[in-house]
Structure 1
């Protein structure tokens, strides 16, 4: 039986989902959280749908064993490939994250938007369905090959990442995009480098704030919002070296190694 004081569980293929955790924690500061970085199996974006589903089930089971009252799939690839199966298999609310292409398509003035995402997201049925609903918009899709691997290796500000971003963003700039959608929870950490490359007028959209609002809404709907005005406990675990996760969350929290 889940109670209001049970934690929110989040998982990702690595440290990227912390960009989602930060938005949730900012909006819901009294909610306890447990974050799993499945770094040992990162990146998910190059894996098969079956592998992604299997890993998502493994992460979910662990979070439920720790009493999670709701699961945030803080990974675009896992959401677009496994959320349907997760919801069918487990009796707990799930929050997924999807690339925010619809807001970009509605807002574009040039008629051209870009999306930078993993192969697993861009080739998923769910993404194809979302794209098919959009008419009269030129969508420049780009797989962010190797970006997640470099971030997970602690090379966030490396020349390799800058070089890849220049290559990936050039066709979008040539197509006169005015919105860039980040379709991977790792990519918000690349925004400073991306801004150096894109023309000044291009808007960058990620899903973090929308996911936080949806989490609050679903908790309220299920009468699971934590109403105790206490400081929240936030636990972070990685099944590989926790050093990169620690560098992202900062000294206020502790990233621990855990086999899961």
Structure 2
């Protein structure tokens, strides 16, 4: 069982930012990643649609023999992970915006969060946020249009830069000192964000925390892969294969799959 792969899915290429953290932390593990680019973005879909897509992806990963599934999508986590955990025997790891460390360390008592509509409107996000943001001004911004640009291969484009500036300026005017990234696509924006944000504004994402939590669950369940065989990383997309390859610089095996 321990040599079976870690399964992952996201509404496109964004969750590969989590994959990279996992692979760095646990290079001996095998991975299967599903980029559901055909249905991206999840953030503007209904809860029922998000649930159906999450079930579809999870079933496929279970069929491929995955020992654990990382829901590498904030929107899918906040809208579907309770259902997934209740209906399938494999452990599920979710991802939420890292609002807690931002709120705890903010000196200006103002933090910004850039996330999808599906994440910001979810009960899980609001419950988590309310636990840690007493006395903190939280400026929420729906990142409308960001995921489609990344999925279209326009990560470093004038359109992206202008869009990000329009989202960040209202946050900066309210003196934020932390920006929380609430979508797994968004870590790929960090070079652009750093060129726009003042140096004192810190960016936080959840990638490393998710990787560590996955490792902890695998250890607890005695599922760590101790095999000396060369590990495999397989990525499947139902969208533009070239976009996935460009994001990963052809580092891993990538294939088209109609799912």
User: The residue matched to 1:44 in structure 2 has which SS?
Assistant: coil
Aligned residues: 258
Measure how far apart 1:107 and its partner are: 0.5
- Output the TM-score relative to the length of structure 2: 0.98
Whether the 8 Å CA contact 1:44–1:77 is kept in 2: the answer is yes
Q: Secondary structure at the match of 1:139?
A: strand
Q: Deviations over 1:187-209 (max 9, x none)?
A: 00000111111111011000000
List aligned pairs for 1:8-157, cutoff 5 A.
8-133=6-131, 134-157=133-156
The separation in 1 between residues aligned to 2:97 and 2:67, in whole angstroms, is 25
Q: Indicate if the aligned counterparts of 1:7 and 1:69 stay in contact, CA closer than 8 A.
A: yes
Structure 1 counterpart SS, 2:180: strand
Paired position in structure 1 for 2:2 = 4
Instruction: State the partner residue of 2:204.
Output: 205
**Any unmatched runs of 5+ in structure 1?**
none
1:70 CA displacement: 0.1
1:157-210 deviation line (CA, Å, top 9, x unaligned): 011110010000001111111110000000000001111111110110000000
In structure 1, C-alpha distance between the alignment counterparts of 2:123 and 2:241, rounded to whole Å: 33
Structure 1 runs of 4+ with >6 Å offset: none
Q: 1:171 and 1:232 mapped to 2: Cα distance?
A: 45
**Residue in 2 that maps onto 1:172:** 171
Asked whether the equivalents of residues 34 and 234 of structure 1 are also in contact (C-alpha less than 8 Å), the reply is: yes
Q: Identify unmatched segments of 5+ residues in structure 2.
A: none
How far has the Cα of 1:52 moved from its partner?
0.2
TM-score by length of 1: 0.98
Please state whether the residue corresponding to 2:43 is helix, strand or coil. Answer: helix
Separation in 2 of the partners of 1:173 and 1:230? 49
Shift of 1:230: 3.0
Equivalent-residue separation in structure 2 for 1:6 and 1:254 (angstroms): 17
